């Protein structure tokens, strides 16, 4: 199977899902490719993407340090 066949098969599989599941599958594919797992985890736990990305640029790929930084920078 050539690469375009794989892409077609993946598109067909997503298209066959109900519309909400299809949107979810498309989103998860995009975020998986764009951001590291620790960034995705923090965003899924309610932190703003822009703040998480900024923290990631400053601190790097350490979940515990990122979480500590984000919690300490929250306003009360």
pLDDT digit string, tens, across residues 54-73? 999 999 999 999 999 999 99
Q: What is the largest CA-CA distance in the chain?
A: 55
pLDDT digit string, tens, across residues 14-48? 455 455 544 454 444 444 568 999 999 999 999 99
The Cα angle at residue 37 between residues 47 and 19, in degrees rounded to 5: 80
Q: pTM higher than 0.85 for the full model?
A: no
pLDDT at 4 over 50: no
Domain ranges of the chain: 1-34, 35-76
pLDDT at 76: 53
- DSSP code of 61? S
């Amino acid at each position: 199977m050539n690469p375009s066949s794989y892409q077609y098969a993946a598109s067909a599989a997503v298209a066959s899902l109900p519309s909400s599941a299809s949107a979810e599958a498309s989103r998860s594919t995009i975020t998986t490719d764009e951001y590291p797992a620790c960034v995705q985890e923090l965003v899924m736990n309610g932190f703003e993407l822009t703040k998480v990305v900024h923290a990631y640029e400053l601190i790097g790929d350490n979940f515990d340090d990122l979480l500590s930084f984000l919690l300490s920078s929250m306003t009360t």
